Structure 1
Amino acid sequence: MDSQVLQYTAEIRMVDEYDIVVFGGGPTGCTAAIQAGREGARVALVEKNGMLGGTTTVASVNFPGLFHTRLGRQIIRGIGWEMIEETEARGGARLQDFSIPYEPKQHPKHHIWLNRFIYATVLDDFCLAAGVQLRLHEMPVDIRIDKESGKHIVVLAGKSGLSAVRAGKLIDATGDANVAGMMGYATEQEEHVQPGTLIYHMTGYELGQVDKAELRRLAGEALAAGTLLGTDFCNPREEPPFWRELEGAGGNRNHIAGIDGSTSEGKTQAELKGRAALLRAYKFLRTVPGCENLEIDYVASECGIRETKRVVGERRISGLQYKTGFRWPDAVCYSYYPIDIHQHDNNSIDIRPLEDGIVASVPYGALIPQGSDHLLTAGRCISGDSEAHSAYRVQASSMATGQAAGAAAALAVRQGISVREVDIGELREMLVKHGAIVPD
C-alpha cells in the first residue's frame, strides 16, 4: 500500500492546566513529580500503565541499586531513598548491611529487594501527599506551543479518547526520549542496543534429580536443532545451560535481542520475542529428567528494556568521564553503578566496576536537550554515550536525576525562566533541602 497521510479535525477538550507535566511513572518520573510537588508546583504525572513503578513493578526488576559504594559510602539518598525506607517500614523491602564490602563485580549484593505491590503503594501515597495528579492509562500523542499563553498544549490519549492539558514545563522520564523526540529535539541511538530481559519464575522441579551432564547433552541437541537459542539462558562455561536458573530458585537470565523498545512497534516485538523465548525454555526444560513437572508460576507483564534512545544534551557524559569520576562544574548527583554492557548477540555481560575511591557525577546539562527552554529529561534517556549509559541507566541513578529534574523544573516555573537559566547553586540547595546528596 502506498504511504498515505490521514488528515482529520477533532475537537479536543482542554481538561486542566499544570505548572509541570511529568511523562513516565517509573522511579525516575515519580521522584521528579514528588520533588516538584513538594516545592508547591502543580504537577501531573502521565503514565501508560495502571500501576506506578515502571521497570520495578511491571517489568519486575524489583532490585534497585546502587545507593552505596562498594565500601559502604552512601552516594544517593533523597526522595528515592525515602521511598525505599518507607517500603521497608511497610514490610516490603530488605535492606542489607551496606558497610560490609563486596568483591568487585559482586555489586548485586548491594541491590535492594522490593515487594512490587508494597513499593507501588508507597509511590501512590508519596505522589498524592505531594499533590501530584496521577493520570494513569494515558499517553501523549501531540505537544505544541499555545501561542496565546506561551505554554505547551499536551494532547493525551486515554480510554475515553483524546483530551488536552496545558503546562509550563515538561519532564521526559519515559526512558526512551519519547517526549523529546515528539517535540523535535535531537536523539541518538546505537546500531545495536543492549538486549532486554523478560523476568519470570519457575517452580515444580527437583534440582537434586537434574544431572548436569544430561542437561548439557540435551541442551546441545536443542541448540543444534534450533528449538533453543543461546540467548534463552545464562551460559557460563563451567556449567550447563539453565543450571544457574534452576539453582537460583527458579530465576531467569535471558537476553531478548534485536528490539527497539522506543516505539510501540518495537516494544510489541520485544513482548512477542520475550514470550517466545520463555516458551522455548519451558518446552525444553520439561524434557529434562527432574523437570518433568516444571511450571512457570510468574512472568512479568512487560519485557524489561535496557537501552533505546538518548537525547543530545547541553552536556554529554562519556564513558571515560564516568569511569574516571570527572567532576562536572554543574554536577547535581552521583552515580556508582559499574559499566554494565549486555551483549546484543549472546548472553554475556561486560562488567567494569569503578575503582575504589572513584564515584561518577552527573551534570545538569545532560538533563537538558540541546536548545530546550521548557523540557528536561531524566533517567536512562539523559545525554551520554553508550558506555556511560550502561551505568547511569539503573534505578538508583535514575531516581537521583529525576529528583534533580523535578527541582530544576520547579525553580524554572517559580522564576519564570528557561530550564537552561536555572542557577546551579540554587538547584543544589533545593536538592539538599530534600535530602539529596549533591557533589561538592
Structure 2
Amino acid sequence: MKQIVETARKVPVLAETDVLVVGSGPGGLAAAIAAAREGVDTMLVERFGCFGGTITQVGVESIAWYRYRDTVDVEGIGIEFEQRTKAMGGTTPFPQGNSDLLDAEVFKVVADEMVQEAGVEPLLHALAVDVVMEGNAIRGIVIESKSGRQAILARRVIDATGDADIAVRAGASYRKTPREEMMGVTVVFSCSGVDREQFLAYVREHPTTIADWHKDWSAQSSGKEKEIFSPYLGEIFDRARADGLIPREMTSISGTWSSLKETGEATGLNLVYMLGYDATDVRDLTRAEMEGRRLVMLAIEAMRRYAPGWEKARLRNFGMRVGVRDTRKIIGRYNITERDVRNQARFDDAIGIFPEFIDGYGVVILPTTGRYFQVPYGILVPQRVENLLVAGRCVAGDKISHAALRSMMACTVTGQGAGVAAAVSLKQGVASSQVDVARVQRALCRQGVRID
C-alpha cells in the first residue's frame, strides 16, 4: 500500500479527567455512570450524536430477550436502563420470554438523563483516532471532530468501542476472529403501516420455535430450546425464495420480528444476517451498509406479499449504522472459556454474574433453569498496557464465551465493573491491574450489583 508521511504537529488538549470512557454502548454507558457514581471525574466520548450504541444507533431494542421466569439475571445499571425507559413509557413486551423492549428513541433521552445525573462530562461527535502513551501506560486519546484534532488526557481509560480500537492502538495483545468465521452483521430496520392484529393472528396460526432457526442455520442447543416460542419468520422467506422473489441461494434474509405497536409500527426488525464482512475494515463496512439496505428492501417486499397484515407496510427507517457482533477481543489477564460459561464458573475476582445464555457460533442456550456464571475482573485487564480496562464485547475470552458476553446486558456488567474498578484504583493509588478486587466488589455491591 502506498504511504505518506504526516507532518509532526502539536495537538491541543481539550480536557483532562480521572476516568475516560471511549464508546457509549450499554457497556460504555454503564462504565461512565458507575465511575462517576464513585465520585471521580469522568468523561464519556462517543463518535455519533447519541449515547446507547447498539440500542439507539443500530436499533436493537431487545436488551434482555433471553429472560424467562426462572432466569437468574444480572442486577445493576443494566436493570436501571430498563426501569428508567419503562417509567418514560418507552417499553413494550417482547413476544418471547419475560422482558421488555426499549424504544430506541426514548432510550436516547434516558441515556442523556442518566449521564447528566451522574455528573459525567459528555462529548458527542468525537472519534478516537490515536492514543497517548507514557511507556506502557495509557495517558489519554487523540480525537478528531468538527473542532479539529484534540487530545483528552486521563488517569484511567476504558475501551468500550466494541472492537478494542483503543487497546489495539495502545499495543495490547488481542485476537481477531478470521473473516470466514465471524458472526454476521445486520442492518436493523423499522416499518409502519402494519395491521398488528391481522399479523398476530397469523403468528398464532403458524407458531415457530427456536428449532425453526435450525432450518436456516445449523444450531446446537441443550434440547429444551426446541420447544420455546420464537418470533421467527423463516416460512415467509422460504415462500419468497420458492417463487423467485428472493434468489434461492440467498440465506441472508431471515430472522425475527420484535415490537409491534398498536399504531402499526414494527420496530427492531432483525431480518438480514450477512456473513463475510470484517467490521474493522472500512471498505467492508461500506459494502455491508449498502448491501444491507438492499436486502432490507427485498425483505419488506417479501413481507408485503406473504405476511398477512403487511400488505401496506412501508419502510420507516434504518438503524444509524450496521450492527456488528464479532471482531477483536483482547487477550486478558484471564481469558474466559466455553467451559466457564457452560458450567456455572465461579471466580474470586467476580464483578458480576450473567445467566447461562449463549447465542452465536452455532450454539443457542437459553437460561430457563436458573444456571449462571460469575464474570471475572481478569477479562477486563489487557496484557502489556497499564491503566487501561476494556468493557463490552471486546473482553477477553474464546468464541463461545463471546457468544454469551457480547449480549447487551452482559456488556452492562463488564462496563459497570470496569467503571468501578477504574475509580477504586485511583482512590487506592495503584494501577488498574493491581486494584484490590475486594474493594471493587464492595463498591459494586453498594451500587446494586449482584456478585454471587
TM class by smaller structure? 0.7 to 0.9
Is 1:276 the counterpart of 2:294? The answer is: yes
1:20 counterpart SS class: strand
1:262 match: 280
User: What count of residue pairs does the alignment treat as equivalent?
Assistant: 410
Once structures 1 and 2 are overlaid, which stretch shifts more, 75-84 or 318-327?
Answer: 75-84
Residue type of the alignment partner of 2:275: A
Is 1:178 the counterpart of 2:191? The answer is: no
Q: Using structure 2 for the length normalisation, give the TM-score.
A: 0.82
CA distance in 1, matches of 2:419, 2:394: 15
CA distance in 2, matches of 1:386, 1:84: 28
Is 1:373 the counterpart of 2:393? The answer is: no
Kindly indicate whether the alpha-carbon contact (under 8 Å) linking 2:185 and 2:322 is maintained by their aligned counterparts in 1: yes
Kindly indicate whether the alpha-carbon contact (under 8 Å) linking 1:341 and 1:390 is maintained by their aligned counterparts in 2: yes
2:271 counterpart SS class: coil
Once structures 1 and 2 are overlaid, which stretch shifts more, 10-19 or 87-96?
Answer: 87-96
CA distance in 2, matches of 1:68, 1:293: 33
Kindly indicate whether the alpha-carbon contact (under 8 Å) linking 2:20 and 2:44 is maintained by their aligned counterparts in 1: yes
Is 1:389 the counterpart of 2:402? The answer is: yes
1:29 match: 28
CA distance in 2, matches of 1:85, 1:338: 22
1:233 match: 254
Kindly indicate whether the alpha-carbon contact (under 8 Å) linking 1:20 and 1:170 is maintained by their aligned counterparts in 2: yes
Residues 381-410 of structure 1, C-alpha deviation per residue, up to 9 Å, x if partnerless?
101111011011111111111000000000
2:38 match: 39
1:390 counterpart SS class: helix
Kindly indicate whether the alpha-carbon contact (under 8 Å) linking 1:67 and 1:396 is maintained by their aligned counterparts in 2: no
1:155 counterpart SS class: strand
Is 1:169 the counterpart of 2:167? The answer is: no
Q: Quote how far apart the aligned CAs of 1:172 are.
A: 0.6
Of residues 175, 183, 187, the one that matches 1:194 is: 183
Q: Residues 9 and 334 from structure 1, CA distance in 2 versus in 1: closer, same or farther, beyond 3 angstroms?
A: same
Residues 112-167 of structure 1, C-alpha deviation per residue, up to 9 Å, x if partnerless?
211222222121111112221111001111112258xx761421111121111111
1:16 counterpart SS class: strand
CA distance in 2, matches of 1:287, 1:91: 33
2:97 counterpart SS class: helix
2:128 match: 140
Is 1:353 the counterpart of 2:366? The answer is: yes
CA distance in 2, matches of 1:387, 1:323: 9
Q: Residues 231 and 169 from structure 1, CA distance in 2 versus in 1: closer, same or farther, beyond 3 angstroms?
A: same
CA distance in 2, matches of 1:66, 1:436: 20
Kindly indicate whether the alpha-carbon contact (under 8 Å) linking 1:205 and 1:293 is maintained by their aligned counterparts in 2: yes
1:219 match: 241
Of residues 142, 159, 165, the one that matches 2:146 is: 159
Kindly indicate whether the alpha-carbon contact (under 8 Å) linking 1:26 and 1:54 is maintained by their aligned counterparts in 2: yes
Is 1:339 the counterpart of 2:358? The answer is: yes
2:55 match: 56
2:231 match: none
Matches within 5 A, 1:15-26: 15-26=14-25
CA distance in 2, matches of 1:424, 1:370: 18
CA distance in 2, matches of 1:414, 1:109: 42
Q: Residues 426 and 22 from structure 1, CA distance in 2 versus in 1: closer, same or farther, beyond 3 angstroms?
A: same
Once structures 1 and 2 are overlaid, which stretch shifts more, 56-65 or 274-283?
Answer: 274-283
Q: Quote how far apart the aligned CAs of 1:72 are.
A: 4.8
Q: Residues 262 and 360 from structure 1, CA distance in 2 versus in 1: closer, same or farther, beyond 3 angstroms?
A: farther
Structure 1: runs of 5 or more not aligned: 97-105, 236-241, 344-349
Residue type of the alignment partner of 2:114: F
2:359 counterpart SS class: strand
Kindly indicate whether the alpha-carbon contact (under 8 Å) linking 1:25 and 1:54 is maintained by their aligned counterparts in 2: yes
Kindly indicate whether the alpha-carbon contact (under 8 Å) linking 1:339 and 1:353 is maintained by their aligned counterparts in 2: yes
CA distance in 2, matches of 1:159, 1:318: 42
Q: Quote how far apart the aligned CAs of 1:90 are.
A: 1.6
Q: Quote how far apart the aligned CAs of 1:39 are.
A: 1.2
Kindly indicate whether the alpha-carbon contact (under 8 Å) linking 2:344 and 2:356 is maintained by their aligned counterparts in 1: no
Kindly indicate whether the alpha-carbon contact (under 8 Å) linking 1:87 and 1:119 is maintained by their aligned counterparts in 2: yes
CA distance in 2, matches of 1:180, 1:407: 19
CA distance in 1, matches of 2:22, 2:63: 21
Residues 11-56 of structure 1, C-alpha deviation per residue, up to 9 Å, x if partnerless?
3211211111101111111110011111111111010110111101
CA distance in 1, matches of 2:307, 2:414: 48
Structure 2: runs of 5 or more not aligned: 207-234
Q: Residues 289 and 272 from structure 1, CA distance in 2 versus in 1: closer, same or farther, beyond 3 angstroms?
A: closer
Kindly indicate whether the alpha-carbon contact (under 8 Å) linking 2:237 and 2:302 is maintained by their aligned counterparts in 1: no
Of residues 60, 76, 79, the one that matches 1:78 is: 76
CA distance in 2, matches of 1:135, 1:68: 33
Q: Residues 214 and 72 from structure 1, CA distance in 2 versus in 1: closer, same or farther, beyond 3 angstroms?
A: closer
2:393 counterpart SS class: helix
Q: Quote how far apart the aligned CAs of 1:219 are.
A: 2.2
2:57 counterpart SS class: coil
Of residues 347, 362, 381, the one that matches 2:375 is: 362
Kindly indicate whether the alpha-carbon contact (under 8 Å) linking 1:228 and 1:284 is maintained by their aligned counterparts in 2: no
Q: Using structure 1 for the length normalisation, give the TM-score.
A: 0.84
Q: Quote how far apart the aligned CAs of 1:179 are.
A: 0.8
CA distance in 2, matches of 1:216, 1:61: 24
2:28 counterpart SS class: helix
Residue type of the alignment partner of 1:281: A
2:109 match: 121
Residues 247-297 of structure 1, C-alpha deviation per residue, up to 9 Å, x if partnerless?
996844221211122343333232122112113334555666976644222
Is 1:433 the counterpart of 2:433? The answer is: no
Q: Quote how far apart the aligned CAs of 1:94 are.
A: 4.5
Is 1:90 the counterpart of 2:85? The answer is: no
Once structures 1 and 2 are overlaid, which stretch shifts more, 317-326 or 287-296?
Answer: 287-296
Q: Quote how far apart the aligned CAs of 1:368 are.
A: 0.5
